[in-house]
Structure 1
């Protein structure tokens, strides 16, 4: 830990079967990281070409397993975030011949299964979203319907929903959809966000300029690497040591309140987790 503080990476992936897995967690912990939100990798990256919602269960179970292993390496703990990567719709429609509405139904069924794990307490939050690249109207509408299904579950389960979506500094419409479903807007988290975002809570990618914008803005925010643990792209997007290193940089530049905001106050507000109380400190 860093100066007895919790340090949370809000969004990264671990692949214990094909790449670094727990070795990446050890790197994170070695430089001061204490808590992780581990998001399941895209299903096809784990060899799952889903035909039914139940087919996603193997992806979710493997993620829960690696989270348990990760927690044993941390002075804090890790939590799973489960869902269906929005890029799956392109794989289904373009590569596997699904109609957009068929792809929508399959992805919604996967979200339904992920929600079971949140309901049972085995996962903390859901993941959904829409493509961050250009798609036709039918795919766009289907993707938005999948995301709105996640918001329905977020409302019912009172959990957060992390979104993978296009780059934007204004996603108030999406946050409004969550509110319509019965979710508070602040429980919608935009993963890979810039330092300024209207609507959801930004999970800011650990670029120094973006972190400085978030810190100076003074609004709730989180910090992430989006480390993807891919053997073909080692270190992508950012390495697992990045969040602790950026926390040190923020502290060196006088942003103590921003660090508490991102690693204690916002995690509690968004996810209901207490990173301070779950930190094992030496007597």
Structure 2
């Protein structure tokens, strides 16, 4: 197993142990020098589940917790679950099942409430929420923002991070202000699939060289991710599980040791309260 002399964290990926590569993807990550993973639950509709109430989300979360335990067995560090509700669910509830925007909002809030129970019990590290990255009706947009604000209320109560799936942007200061109003520290709000710069939350930067170079040169806190979807029918949809360790090796070769420390040690500690050095095998 290749060692890079540093913790290597992929901040956001998905694993499908039934139909995808599952633990084989984790082994690829570890073989290239990866040490830690934050595994985000797949969207509920990927399970063929038509959610109507909070308990409908439970099998989604339970699968994620189970695969994280398996992943930890393969890693020199460990994996953690991040649980929540994909913001795209609102469109499925409104457009396909004819729920009102407010009814969809309530279903999604209930899923977050259940996810929060796992965080409270120590079974999950943080929450996942956000809003659609595509055009929606005004009432759907407002309902989505209400769901996200609910996630911030829960994050403040639990003192945990909230990962966001949002539109492509380099400015989410308003969203960070909503989190602060709820009582969260804005740095604990993480924009997944981020570019190399971002105003407001902490960026979880997609691990393409140009984005990473921008983040490294800026010197601000950031994380690195692949958003690996683990769908064998969409092998090129996003980045593969080997990408983050490969990018870390490239960063070290380019002399960006400080940026590696920022992305894989300092920012994970500040945002999630995790010790990526201390959880490495000795």
TM-score between both structures, scaled by the size of structure 1: 0.98
Alignment root-mean-square deviation, CA: 0.7
Equivalent residues of 1:220, 1:262 under 8 A apart: yes
Equivalent residues of 1:229, 1:236 under 8 A apart: no
Which residue is equivalent to 2:265? Answer: 264
* DSSP 3-state at the match of 1:134: coil
Which residue is equivalent to 2:161? Answer: 160
Which residue is equivalent to 1:92? Answer: 93
Which residue is equivalent to 2:232? Answer: 231
After TM superposition, give the deviation of residue 2 of structure 1 in Å: 3.4
Equivalent residues of 1:229, 1:235 under 8 A apart: no
After TM superposition, give the deviation of residue 75 of structure 1 in Å: 0.2
Task: Give the whole-Å Cα distance in 1 for the aligned partners of 2:238 and 2:201.
Answer: 22
Gapped regions of structure 1 (runs ≥ 5):
none
Equivalent residues of 1:19, 1:230 under 8 A apart: yes
Which residue is equivalent to 2:221? Answer: 220
Deviations 1:74-97 (A, max 9, x none): 000000000000000001111111
Task: Give the whole-Å Cα distance in 1 for the aligned partners of 2:65 and 2:194.
Answer: 25
Equivalent residues of 2:4, 2:249 under 8 A apart: no
Which residue is equivalent to 2:140? Answer: 139
Equivalent residues of 1:34, 1:74 under 8 A apart: yes
After TM superposition, give the deviation of residue 235 of structure 1 in Å: 4.2
Task: Give the whole-Å Cα distance in 1 for the aligned partners of 2:23 and 2:133.
Answer: 29
Which residue is equivalent to 1:112? Answer: 113
Deviations 1:35-82 (A, max 9, x none): 000000000002211111110011000100000000000000000000
Equivalent residues of 1:2, 1:248 under 8 A apart: no
Alignment of 1:188 with 2:177, yes or no, is no
Deviation beyond 6 Å, 4+ runs, structure 1: none
Deviations 1:86-126 (A, max 9, x none): 00000111111111000000000000000000000000000
Gapped regions of structure 2 (runs ≥ 5):
none
Which residue is equivalent to 1:177? Answer: 178
Deviations 1:20-48 (A, max 9, x none): 10010000000000000000000000221
Which residue is equivalent to 1:75? Answer: 76
Deviations 1:160-191 (A, max 9, x none): 00000001100000000000000000000000
Superposed counterparts of 1:61-72, under 5 Å:
61-72=62-73
- Count residues with an aligned counterpart: 281
Task: Give the whole-Å Cα distance in 1 for the aligned partners of 2:200 and 2:136.
Answer: 23
